[in-house]
Amino acid sequence: MLTYHRRPVCLSFISTDFPICTEVETVATLYQKDYERFHLLLTEPVIRDRDFDAEGREIPAMPYGETPRLLWLEFSPYRVTLTMQGNGQLSYRHLLQRGMYGFSRYCLHSNTSSQNHQLCLRNYTRNLVLEGTPLPDFFRVEYELWADRVAMGHYVINLEIHH
């Protein structure tokens, strides 16, 4: 039962502990795997670094990352897998399941050597909400990030799917 739909989406990532808040509005492809399982694939628009001179004028800057970043979400009312790859320097995968510990793996790729470095953290999913039928129009996941026994913050991912 694989069907797909092109939809405008708004994806936001928020930290409740740190001054981190980012939002991406773009068009994504929504795949329906079965009644409650979906995949969403989107390409993040190019991010440009901004810099200013002493008088406050913007200095033209190079784009951040040469290739677009692909974001792939597999989600249901019970679990989500969030994968980002493609900018050549950083990729990550979060496995989140309501009321359970999962893992978050970050891969740092080096341009100067053949070595890649991985950072693995634990996460705990506090809440997971999926709304809308037959296709979802809202998805939210709230989770904590942990390095051993040290809390690394609380985070919220919101996804609005416009029909």
Domain that holds residue 150: 3-161
The pLDDT assigned to 38 comes to 94
| Residue 128 in this model has a pLDDT that exceeds 80 | yes
User: Which among 160, 7, 140, 2 has a CA at the least distance from the CA of 75?
Assistant: 140
| Residue 2 in this model has a pLDDT that exceeds 70 | no
Answer whether 131's CB lies under 8 Å from 161's CB.
no
Provide the 3-class DSSP secondary structure of residue 7: strand
CATH of the domain at 38: 2.40.128.20
The pLDDT assigned to 4 comes to 77
Whole-number average pLDDT of the chain: 85
Give pLDDT tens digits for 55-66. Answer: 777 666 545 555
What is residue 57's DSSP assignment?
P
- Number of compact structural domains in the chain: 1
Pairing between β-strand 37-44 and β-strand 21-34 as defined by DSSP bridges: antiparallel
Confidence of residue 49 (pLDDT cuts 50, 70, 90): low
